[in-house]
Amino acid sequence: MNHNIQRANALVQRFMCHYTSLALNLIQRTVDPDGKPVFEVMRELTSAEEQLYASASGRLSEFQQSRLLMALVESNLAEARGALHALELATRQDALTGAGSSYGLVLTLNGKIVDYLTATRLYLEHRRIQLKRRYGPEGNPLQAFDAERHHLFESEPVYAFIYKLRNYVQHCGMPIQASEASASLVVDEAGERSVHTLFVGCRRDELLADYSEWGRARTFIATQDDVFEILPLLETNTKLLWKIERASVAAEMEHLWRDARAIASILAEVADDDHWATVAEVMYNVDQTDVHTLAFHGPPLTVLRTLRLIRDRSPGPGWRLDRRVLASEAPPEVT
């Protein structure tokens, strides 16, 4: 063990004797006639620029990560749709063969709906914590998020039901309680054919009897049929979650725009119609005569693209900017 440690230390010392790492540098990227990338180190960022770039990139990256929560909601909704479709196909097959393969798919569908309900709560709780941590409890983005959330809970019965359904699932049972298939013979001009239908959903009376904490959602449940579909309600709920997200992003936009422009302004020094720009940590040979490696520190691209500050990306590290957008004092409208 000691021998291995000594060998590792020796390798580190050898490496440090040959190479040295510098601060972040502004890099200009072009393409040579053969289509190969050419990187040129333009200059080292000042300590103030490096601090500004790092802090702005960090905040925009955090925002970019928070947007993935709604992507998770959408993904789980798509998987629930897919599970329902698979169940419909299996039900038709069972009607022909009597195989009974659809039973396991009801369990799968329940699992996908539980995943969706979990993702919606993850979004609501994680997004709120992120806004509170970044802007404070009195910050406009958090206030906008809470106001829209409370408004929807009071005014949109579907939102209140799905919010409470997650609690029901946690404490009482599965969301899908009924699965009913039927087949009929249709005779028309085209001839005879069998038609198979599937209905899966929640049982109204079971929901009301098993859980006492529905609150405002109880009235909504009581007005439903004895067995009612849930997938259309998930679709509606997702649209309502996007209302919450748009309200908070609109309140955040002033801060996001300031950070995005700070990053773009640094890149703009060397980015033009023929050159792409990026930022990288440069490692030189110890005599400073040759660049050994570039460790790229690219900005959070999704945000800059959303704000339309980035016009395009080269086939490799480096981006060109839309200078008209950068020159604007007001951010573009973002949906």
Element at 221 (helix H, strand E)? helix 217-222
60/78 Cα distance (integer angstroms): 27
141/208 Cα distance (integer angstroms): 36
258/265 Cα distance (integer angstroms): 10
- In which residue are the tokens 């209140």 written? 160
* Residues forming a β-bridge with 295: 281
Mean of pLDDT values over 111-129: 96
Q: What is the pLDDT of residues 140-149, one digit of tens each?
A: 999 999 999 9
Q: Which residue has the higher pLDDT, 117 or 65?
A: 117
202/205 Cα distance (integer angstroms): 9
Mean of pLDDT values over 323-329: 63
pLDDT of residue 187: 58
Provide the mean pLDDT of the chain.
79
Q: Is the pLDDT of residue 57 over 50?
A: yes
Q: Is the pLDDT of residue 117 over 80?
A: yes
Lowest mean pLDDT among 201-210, 238-247, 259-268: 259-268
Domain locations in the chain?
Answer: 20-52+255-327
Element at 117 (helix H, strand E)? helix 102-135
pLDDT of residue 195: 52
Q: Is the pLDDT of residue 225 over 90?
A: yes
pLDDT of residue 85: 84
Q: Is the pLDDT of residue 191 over 80?
A: no
Share of the chain above pLDDT 70, in %: 67
pLDDT of residue 123: 96
Lowest mean pLDDT among 88-102, 144-158, 216-230: 88-102
pLDDT of residue 96: 46
DSSP, collapsed to helix, strand or coil, labels residue 44 as strand
Asked if 26 and 43 touch (Cβ cutoff 8 Å), the reply is: yes
pLDDT of residue 238: 97
Mean of pLDDT values over 312-319: 52
316/335 Cα distance (integer angstroms): 28
117/110 Cα distance (integer angstroms): 11
pLDDT of residue 226: 92
pLDDT of residue 200: 80
pLDDT of residue 234: 97
Q: Is the pLDDT of residue 6 over 50?
A: yes
pLDDT of residue 221: 96
Nearest Cα to 80, choosing from 105, 48, 112, 55? 112
Element at 40 (helix H, strand E)? strand 37-44
pLDDT confidence of 53, banded at 50, 70, 90? confident
Q: Is the pLDDT of residue 25 over 50?
A: yes
